[in-house]
Structure 1
């Protein structure tokens, strides 16, 4: 059995950019609240948030959720880049092989994962937890330390909890760099994941896809094969990283870019996301914070796409507006 705490550098993919460590702090350290209030990532230890899920493994899911339908993503390689089918269009150049989403019984997923061999498509289960899953799983879920997360939500004036997502990843699976518009408490239950984060101030360095694209909110940069000619600002990229293991909770602030990978040769991993709506931002103060700038840019871009009805017209219009008028 794989030791869920032991790992070495050979299990990590190699990237060109500079990384520093995300702080690790006990749940009762006052600095935890300070970092969350400041929208800064932190690994929180000792919270016991998902202690009732410590027994979760493939056999446990098979026994208690075997007949439940689950959402499973397939990919031809290790990258599970989110693809929004609702934004698919014939005139959008396909520079990628989209993942495919299927529904299958948990028991079938468990069987296929145990029988997986090199050369097969990779799988990644991503299932919303609610009261329709197996009763024992529901009981475990209700036993989470909700008072702790509810206090975090209240102290930071977050909006409502939108959903909890159960993630079961094969070793080596990668969720490429992207950002979300919600606050995220990422709880690790089994195995080890490497989480690389970049602040919203580095928006320009990561070259996100346009809002109309099926890969909206995701970076165009391929970390495995960085193209510094096409993406020259990538050379200025600086990030933070953490290896999270069972019992760890990583706070991923809204609009922070994150790249998540299950360690190679580390066995499958189990995680649960706690997603919260962003609370009221209040009066705008200057200088604007990074996440405020990203939110404003997204809203402007969405508005132009909606008004112009042709995404090909957005770029030329913005260039006409800015070049020579707001540039020297």
Structure 2
């Protein structure tokens, strides 16, 4: 049973502002772990004004990438290889031929591949309060889904092209979100799939107070660390996600996660019980 519409209908709006300075952002949201939408914060970025499929096809170099399809979190899919420009061309071809594409590009280290594109974004509002930042791009067709999960880092998420829907829930509902025991780097997955849902299997979901929003191009959403979120592209979409760590978190959290990931890859921690390794 698909209960996405039911949850959205019952959800509360996320607090919204039209402008904010870095001091207020830190005091009211970053420190308090409160989500907020900053309407139009990225509307004047070079990325929002310039980026698109044709823009990406004109970039000088091609890169090897990894793609996902369907709901990676709950469907337990695996990555597939492609090249950046071949994938972008496939997306462009769908516009002409109306042929469906399920694959989407997730967590692309876009500025490592194309360093000059750093000039097209401005995360200074967020980065004044973090010591290190992992910035990733998300590119794909309509209807791509990232099922409920909770990232261990604070996340400032900018919508560049298209529309995306977020459904989020506070950490106080952790026990009602049925955390998965499977290993996933930098996050905790939920067992709950609201596209294929059963109240018999996950009845406590009724206790969760959800919030939702549809991000428009130029909108920015702050998702506090460990908050549960479900993301669905409503149209072909380009987004940028900035996972930020404070100086304390670099050693207390990020280092710990890297050690655990290293142990996992060596088979010492949750071997074959994960979202990253090939099934055997």
Bin of the TM-score, shorter chain as denominator length: 0.7 to 0.9
Question: Do the aligned partners of residues 230 and 146 (structure 1) sit closer, same or farther apart at CA in structure 2, a change above 3 Å counting?
Answer: closer
SS in 1 for 2:217: coil
The one of 69, 72, 87 aligned to 2:67? 72
8 A contact 1:80–1:173 mirrored in 2: no
Question: Following the alignment from structure 1 to structure 2, what is the Cα–Cα distance between the partners of residues 215 and 234?
Answer: 23
1:23 alignment partner in structure 2 = 15
Cα deviation digits, residues 201-232 of structure 1 (max 9, x gap): 11111101115579971111121232222222
Question: Following the alignment from structure 2 to structure 1, what is the Cα–Cα distance between the partners of residues 98 and 125?
Answer: 42
TM-align CA RMSD: 3.3
Question: Following the alignment from structure 2 to structure 1, what is the Cα–Cα distance between the partners of residues 72 and 269?
Answer: 28
Are 2:193 and 1:222 aligned?
A: yes
Range 118-127 or range 223-232, more displaced: 118-127
Are 2:113 and 1:132 aligned?
A: yes
The unaligned stretches of length 5 or more in structure 2 are: 271-280
8 A contact 1:193–1:261 mirrored in 2: yes
Are 2:135 and 1:141 aligned?
A: no
Question: Following the alignment from structure 2 to structure 1, what is the Cα–Cα distance between the partners of residues 221 and 189?
Answer: 20
- Post-superposition offset of 1:111: 2.3
Question: Following the alignment from structure 1 to structure 2, what is the Cα–Cα distance between the partners of residues 142 and 189?
Answer: 14
TM normalised by structure 2 equals 0.77
1:81 alignment partner in structure 2 = 73
1:150 alignment partner in structure 2 = 127
Question: Following the alignment from structure 2 to structure 1, what is the Cα–Cα distance between the partners of residues 175 and 239?
Answer: 30
8 A contact 1:165–1:274 mirrored in 2: yes
The one of 187, 194, 205 aligned to 1:234? 205
2:55 alignment partner in structure 1 = 60
Are 2:94 and 1:123 aligned?
A: no
- Post-superposition offset of 1:13: 4.5
Question: Following the alignment from structure 2 to structure 1, what is the Cα–Cα distance between the partners of residues 6 and 186?
Answer: 22
1:183 alignment partner in structure 2 = 154
Would you say how many aligned residue pairs link Structure 1 and Structure 2?
Answer: 249
Range 224-233 or range 64-73, more displaced: 64-73
User: Who wins on radius of gyration, i.e. which is larger?
Assistant: 1
Question: Following the alignment from structure 1 to structure 2, what is the Cα–Cα distance between the partners of residues 310 and 61?
Answer: 39
Question: Following the alignment from structure 1 to structure 2, what is the Cα–Cα distance between the partners of residues 277 and 223?
Answer: 30
Question: Do the aligned partners of residues 48 and 122 (structure 1) sit closer, same or farther apart at CA in structure 2, a change above 3 Å counting?
Answer: closer
Question: Following the alignment from structure 2 to structure 1, what is the Cα–Cα distance between the partners of residues 202 and 142?
Answer: 29
Question: Do the aligned partners of residues 72 and 66 (structure 1) sit closer, same or farther apart at CA in structure 2, a change above 3 Å counting?
Answer: farther
1:105 alignment partner in structure 2 = 83
Question: Do the aligned partners of residues 107 and 251 (structure 1) sit closer, same or farther apart at CA in structure 2, a change above 3 Å counting?
Answer: same
8 A contact 1:50–1:144 mirrored in 2: no
Range 225-234 or range 25-34, more displaced: 25-34
Question: Following the alignment from structure 1 to structure 2, what is the Cα–Cα distance between the partners of residues 211 and 59?
Answer: 39
The unaligned stretches of length 5 or more in structure 1 are: 1-11, 83-95, 282-294, 312-328
Question: Do the aligned partners of residues 213 and 250 (structure 1) sit closer, same or farther apart at CA in structure 2, a change above 3 Å counting?
Answer: closer
Question: Do the aligned partners of residues 39 and 141 (structure 1) sit closer, same or farther apart at CA in structure 2, a change above 3 Å counting?
Answer: same
8 A contact 1:194–1:242 mirrored in 2: yes
8 A contact 2:91–2:140 mirrored in 1: no
Cα deviation digits, residues 9-46 of structure 1 (max 9, x gap): xxx95134731000110232676441222101000124
